[in-house]
């Protein structure tokens, strides 16, 4: 039986000033999977994530999230099921724990033990009361991840979350994402140009080039027996990016 | 030099002796500038935020007007308000000329561009990615606006402080539209002018010291607010 799709994308097109940035004929994202989208810089991966987070409106085509057909303004209850951790964490000028609690506050919820638990999970419990502006890059990204996870999103979108981080932080963040997916069934869409990270984390991997999805396949098929020669070239590192 | 020292001690003496005339002047100064600042903040912060955030029609033109307004000579504002409120002016029927209301109007015109213009600059200085990040976390439009304002708070408080500084120390406009009437529209700055003209330098200095002290205390209060928020 075909797994349930949480997103169904058909003929999705996003243009900026008549320049096509995303042009995807068809993509189904399965509930509970980790889907990695790889590709060179400028391929349209981040734009795709913004579309999936309802932060941008498609020029043409359709994004269906569960039974909701995305038009220009997604309802708040739908928007609040999806969140993104961006490549560059943008933290508020506040303490670490206030940053982590921010999404809860937006929902009218109190800062409670969930914040402390989440900080412990990302290894930042001892820095709870420290100003977020005083953290290192890796710590900031872990705060951003904790802030996204504490609101228990149905879909977690990750836009190059470990770019420019040291191996320790990369490993830590990957483990948290893996655990979140395994234990809570969170659907994860990860955008990266690090094929090794995609191989380590994803159930399925897609290659995006010039706004188009070239191939989407299971991780093993994508890396071991790619259907498209461009995928093979990308995996071999022959494609310049 | 003696006059300055004498003025300083007289200021202390005036404060300690709880001189009712002095307190009336101080109270009126605070009341007029306080109400003017409150109105300027209420109008200027949302307008500055809107100009900084939204794609407002003719934003460039409005910004040019605001920046021009930031450099308005108070005496020109006073002249304009005087003409508007004089008996033959369009708002003469209000009967506000030579009353604290006219002084408040003049001070709002002086402080509003400062508050709005500097708030706009502060909001524009907030990382553009913040808006997308908070929206991604589920913020409504209002929550998004509030998040940006919170991040810009150091600049917004500086805008309010600049507005306050611009009006508490202003003399040209309040002199023209208030008339410096004893017991009715005399404020610290106009009292200083009067005492200087009549050769009461020590008293003028004393009032100047009190004015500076008031501005200092108000700014400390706002800086504390900046830190706490």
Higher pLDDT, B215 or A153: A153
The first and second tokens of residue A45, run together, are 């991966």
Q: With contacts defined as CB-CB under 8 Å, which chain A residues touch B144?
A: none
- Please judge whether A151 and B134 are an interchain contact, meaning their C-beta atoms are less than 8 angstroms apart: no
- Please judge whether A102 and B129 are an interchain contact, meaning their C-beta atoms are less than 8 angstroms apart: no
- Please judge whether B133 and A76 are an interchain contact, meaning their C-beta atoms are less than 8 angstroms apart: no
Interface subset of A 195-224, CB within 8 angstroms of B: none
Rounded distance, CA B92 to CA A110, Å?
Answer: 54
Q: Determine the distance in angstroms separating the CA of B49 from the nearest CA of chain A, rounded to an integer.
A: 18
**A128-140: buried (b, 16+ CB within 10 Å) or exposed (e) per residue?**
eeeebeebeebbb
The first and second tokens of residue A48, run together, are 């795709």
pLDDT for res B112: 97
Residue A50 placed within a domain: yes
Asked if pLDDT for residue A63 goes beyond 60, the answer is yes
pLDDT for res B2: 76
Count up the domains in chain A and report the number.
1
Least confident of A25-29, B21-25, B133-137: B21-25
Average confidence (pLDDT) over B170-186: 94
Asked if pLDDT for residue A241 goes beyond 80, the answer is no
- A78 Cβ under 8 Å from any chain B Cβ: no
Residue A51 placed within a domain: yes
Provide the CATH number for the domain formed by B20-228 in this structure.
Answer: 1.10.3720.10
The first and second tokens of residue A157, run together, are 């979108």
Please name the helix (run of DSSP H) or strand (run of DSSP E) that holds residue A153, with its range, or none: none
Q: Determine the distance in angstroms separating the CA of A219 from the nearest CA of chain B, rounded to an integer.
A: 28
- B142 Cβ under 8 Å from any chain A Cβ: no
Count Cβ atoms below 10 Å from residue B88 Cβ, excluding itself.
Answer: 6
**Residue to substitute from B122, B133, B152, B226, interface A, most A β-carbons within 10 A:** B133
Residue A240 placed within a domain: no
Chain segment A82-111, per-residue pLDDT in tens: 999 999 999 999 999 999 999 999 999 987
Residue A241 placed within a domain: no
What number is the ipTM of this complex? 0.91
Chain segment B32-77, per-residue pLDDT in tens: 999 999 999 999 999 999 898 877 778 888 889 999 999 899 999 9
pLDDT for res B19: 81
- A154 Cβ under 8 Å from any chain B Cβ: no
Query: Which domain does A21 fall in, by range?
Result: 5-235
pLDDT for res B229: 52
Among left, alpha and beta (phi > 0; psi -120 to 50; other), residue A79 is: alpha
Nearest to B150 by CA among A105, A240, A39, A201: A105
Asked if pLDDT for residue A166 goes beyond 80, the answer is yes
CATH number at A172 reads 3.40.50.300
- Please judge whether A83 and B150 are an interchain contact, meaning their C-beta atoms are less than 8 angstroms apart: no
């Amino acid at each position: 039986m075909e797994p349930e799709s949480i997103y169904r994308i058909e003929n999705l097109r996003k243009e900026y000033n008549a320049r096509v940035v995303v042009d995807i004929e068809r993509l189904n994202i399965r509930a509970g999977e980790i889907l990695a989208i790889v590709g060179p810089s400028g391929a349209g991966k981040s734009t795709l994530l913004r579309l999936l987070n309802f932060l941008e409106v498609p020029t043409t085509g359709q994004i269906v999230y569960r039974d909701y057909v995305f038009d220009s303004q997604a309802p708040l209850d739908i928007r609040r099921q999806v969140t993104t951790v961006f490549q560059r964490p943008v933290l508020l000028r506040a303490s670490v724990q206030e940053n982590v609690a921010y999404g809860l506050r937006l929902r009218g919820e109190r800062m409670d033990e969930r914040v402390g638990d989440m900080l412990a999970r990302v290894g930042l419990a001892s820095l709870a009361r420290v100003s977020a502006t005083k953290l290192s890059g890796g710590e900031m990204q872990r705060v951003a991840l904790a802030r996204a996870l504490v609101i228990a999103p149905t879909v977690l979108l990750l836009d190059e979350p470990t770019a420019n981080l040291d191996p320790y932080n990369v490993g830590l963040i990957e483990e948290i994402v893996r655990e979140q997916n395994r234990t809570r069934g969170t659907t994860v869409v990860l955008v990266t140009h690090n094929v090794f990270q995609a191989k380590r984390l994803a159930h399925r991997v897609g290659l995006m080039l010039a706004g188009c999805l070239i191939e989407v396949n299971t991780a093993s098929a994508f890396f071991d027996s790619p259907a498209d020669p461009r995928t093979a070239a990308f995996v071999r590192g022959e494609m310049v990016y | 030099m003696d006059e300055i020292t004498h003025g300083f001690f007289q200021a202390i003496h005036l404060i300690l002796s709880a001189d009712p005339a002095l307190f009336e002047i101080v109270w009126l100064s605070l009341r007029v500038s306080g109400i003017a600042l409150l109105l300027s903040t209420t109008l200027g912060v949302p307008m500055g935020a809107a100009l900084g955030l939204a794609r407002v029609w003719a934003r460039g033109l409005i910004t040019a007007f605001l920046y021009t307004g930031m450099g308005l000579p108070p005496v020109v504002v006073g002249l304009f308000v005087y003409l508007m409120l004089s008996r033959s002016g369009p708002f003469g029927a209000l009967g506000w000329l030579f009353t604290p209301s006219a002084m408040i109007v003049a001070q709002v015109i002086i402080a509003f561009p400062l508050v709005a213009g500097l708030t706009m600059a502060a909001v524009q200085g907030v990382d553009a990615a913040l808006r997308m990040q908070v929206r991604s976390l589920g913020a409504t439009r209002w929550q998004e606006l509030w998040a940006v304002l919170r991040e810009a708070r150091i600049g917004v408080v500086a805008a309010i402080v600049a507005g306050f500084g611009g009006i508490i120390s202003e003399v040209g406009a309040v002199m023209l539209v208030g008339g410096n009437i004893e017991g009715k529209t005399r404020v610290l700055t106009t009292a200083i002018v009067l005492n200087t003209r009549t050769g009461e330098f020590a008293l003028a200095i004393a009032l100047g010291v009190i004015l500076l002290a008031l501005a200092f205390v108000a700014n400390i209060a706002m800086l504390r607010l900046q830190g706490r928020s």
